[in-house]
Amino acid sequence: MKKRILAGAALLGALALAATGCASSNTGAGAAGDGGGDELVTVGFAQTGSESGWRSANTESMKDAFSEDNGFELVFNAADNDPAAQIGAVRDFISRGVDAIVIAPIVEDGWDDVLQEASDAGIPVILEDRTVTSSDDLYASWVGLDFKKEGVTAGEWAAENFGDTPTKMVVLEGTTGSAPANDRAEGFNEAIDGTAIETIDSQTGDFTRDGGKTVMEGFLQKYGLDGIDLLYAHNDDMALGAIEAIEAAGGVPGEDIKIISIDAVHDGMQALVDGKINFIVECNPLLGELAAGLVTDVLADKDVEKANYVEDQSFTQEQAAEVIDSRAY
């Protein structure tokens, strides 16, 4: 599978367009509407749901990019993290005869049949954010983040700061079976292998703030504040829920229990600036213009890369304080 990294000026330009909802992009998203009287390109977008601040920013980026001003008619469906409902939405897009389908898959497995149905109908599919285990000849392209690398970056920071000291860690996992949950766990575990960090418990909080709070409450009841040294959360919303649980238990998040998270949405970054989170790895949600550009290129029979990775950053408290006011999400 060919891969490319979207970075530097080209990436910044694309993300700026996504943040402002501009009507063109370097990859040709605006070309769908060129010519004034051309028909709109109908795109079905199957979103996971609205489980987090990251997801909300991602949805807005997609809606901005696939706007009528840019030459698109967007048929939007958010499946509320129900894989069966999401597959049903894709089948509905196929029956409507949309021009293209974009999917942010809730889980990796179970996509073979419906992707084959889209292929048989001659409707190209672009994957956005998350990946699938299906054969890559069933979709045209994918754009998103390197979830395993995010986990590695988080784990390397943990290993550097806690690896030489016996450290009891709990994990708030993302949605079971999802690509980010699987890959962020794998990357982190590889990075801390051989260190003194011990995972004493790990449960899913489904990427939600309420889920993170509820699971963390259970961890605290089971182990107590003194029995947990480190928390690794697969996203900011779960970390923010865990912060509420730690504070309700009389603890000081970021001090009594160190916290590592992934996403770098505004609320998470603010918690990092405030010292309640200790380290955050970015997962950029502004993928709309890049996805729209891929749709336009695929429909124009242009060659596209099969996998398009957007580079992430990472932040300590000091680094977050320097950039938080200038970030678009």
Q: What percent of the chain has pLDDT over 70?
A: 89
Instruction: List Cβ neighbours of 127 (8 Å cut-off, separation of 6 or more).
Output: 102, 103, 104, 105, 139, 141, 142, 143, 144
Domain that holds residue 64: 3-146+284-312
Place of tokens 């916290």: 259
241 belongs to a structural domain? yes
Beta carbons of 102 and 291 less than 8 angstroms apart = yes
The rounded distance, in Å, linking the Cα atoms of 257 and 251 is 8
Single-letter code of the amino acid located at 248: A
- pLDDT higher for 30 or 93? 93
Claim to verify: residue 7 and residue 142 sit in the same structural domain: yes
Q: Which residues of 116-126 are buried (b: 16+ CB within 10 A; e: fewer)?
A: ebbbeeebbbb
CATH code: domain of residue 107: 3.40.50.2300
Distances (CA, A) of 41 to 76, 144, 215, 254: 14, 22, 43, 48
Measured in whole angstroms, how far is the alpha carbon of residue 86 from the centre of its chain?
17
**DSSP for 73-84, written as a single string:** EEEEEE-TT-HH
Amino acid symbol at 307: A
Q: Are residue 187 and residue 244 in the same domain, yes or no?
A: yes
pLDDT at 313 over 60: yes
Q: Would 218 be classed as within a structural domain? A: yes
Do residues 156 and 60 share a domain?
Answer: no
In whole angstroms, what is the distance from residue 214 CA to residue 191 CA? 27
19 with 117, same domain? yes
The answer to whether residue 317 is domain-embedded is no
The first and second tokens of residue 173, run together, are 């996992």
User: Do 177 and 47 fall within a single domain?
Assistant: no
pLDDT digits 0-9 by tens, 19-78 = 333 323 333 334 454 434 479 999 999 999 998 889 999 999 999 999 999 999 999 999
pLDDT band at 88 (very low <50, low <70, confident <90, very high): very high
In three-state secondary structure terms, 129 is strand
Q: How many structural domains compose the chain?
A: 2
Q: Is residue 328 part of a domain?
A: no
Query: Are 177 and 78 contained in the same domain?
Result: no
pTM to 2 decimal places: 0.84
**Same structural domain for residues 217 and 127?**
no
Same domain, 190 and 275: yes
Q: Which residues are within 8 A (CB) of 326 and not within 5 positions of it... i.e. 6 or more apart? A: none
Residue 213 has pLDDT above 90, yes or no: yes
Secondary structure class of 147 (helix, strand, coil): helix
From the CB of residue 253, how many other CB atoms can be counted at a distance below 10 Å?
A: 24
For residues 269 and 307, membership in a common domain is answered with no
Where is pLDDT greater, at 53 or 187? Answer: 187
Question: How many other C-beta atoms lie within 10 A of the C-beta of residue 273?
Answer: 18
Edge to edge, what strands does the sheet with 100-103 contain?
A: 3-6, 307-310, 141-145, 125-129, 100-103, 41-47, 72-78
Residues 108 and 233 in one domain: no
Question: C-alpha angle with apex 144: 143 to 146, nearest 5 degrees?
Answer: 130
| Domain end residue (candidates: 243, 266, 282) | 282
Q: Tell me, what DSSP letter sits at residue 40?
A: P
